[in-house]
Structure formats: C-alpha cells, structure tokens
C-alpha cells in the first residue's frame, strides 16, 4: 500500500493473509477499499481439505491512520 508524499510514492504497509492455514498457504481472494480501511477476503485450508480445494473463508480489515496501515485480526466467516 502506498501514499503520496510530495511528488513521490511512499510505502505504508503490505497486505498479506492474516488467517493461518493448516496445510498450505492462505490466498488473498479479493480486496475491498473504503475510506480509511481495506478489507481482505482470504481463502484458507482446513486440516482435512484436499490440495485442490479450500473450504475456509476469512476476512481481515486493515485501517489507515495517517501514514500507517494497521492490520486487524482475521475473522473466520466459513
């Protein structure tokens, strides 16, 4: 994530998956932008999921305060 400082871009944070997966890496499935916040939609593997198919869904909200991007805790939705 970047912000404009003068005529240049400055990094304020990275958006990476927050939900821990039992077997494989968690994937970002989408992002939703709103003033002061970014919601990340994540797909994650449960212990019994086959390699082909994740069954876990989670969201994690990041909030922007000035030039800081603060990650929130993931919330499992399915």
**Residue 2 domain flag:** no
Residue span of the structural domain in which 51 resides = 15-76
Going by pLDDT thresholds of 50, 70 and 90, the confidence category of residue 2 is: confident
Tens digit of each residue's pLDDT (9 = 90 or more) over 17-71: 999 998 899 999 999 999 999 999 999 999 999 999 999 999 999 999 888 889 9
* Residue 12 to residue 69: CA distance in whole angstroms: 6
**Residue 3 domain flag:** no
**Residue 19 domain flag:** yes
- Do residues 42 and 19 lie in contact, with contact meaning Cβ atoms separated by under 8 Å? yes
| Number of domains into which the chain is organized | 1
Using the predicted structure, report yes or no on whether residue 74 has a pLDDT greater than 90.
Answer: yes
**Residue 55 domain flag:** yes
Using the predicted structure, report yes or no on whether residue 12 has a pLDDT greater than 90.
Answer: no
Entry pTM:
0.86
Give residue 28's pLDDT: 96
């Amino acid at each position: 994530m970047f912000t404009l400082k003068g005529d240049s871009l400055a990094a304020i944070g990275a958006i990476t998956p927050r939900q821990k997966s039992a077997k494989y890496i968690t994937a970002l499935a989408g992002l939703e932008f709103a003033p002061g916040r970014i919601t990340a939609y994540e797909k994650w593997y449960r212990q019994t999921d086959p390699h082909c198919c994740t069954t876990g869904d989670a969201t994690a909200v990041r909030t922007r305060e000035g030039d800081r991007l603060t990650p929130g805790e993931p919330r499992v939705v399915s």
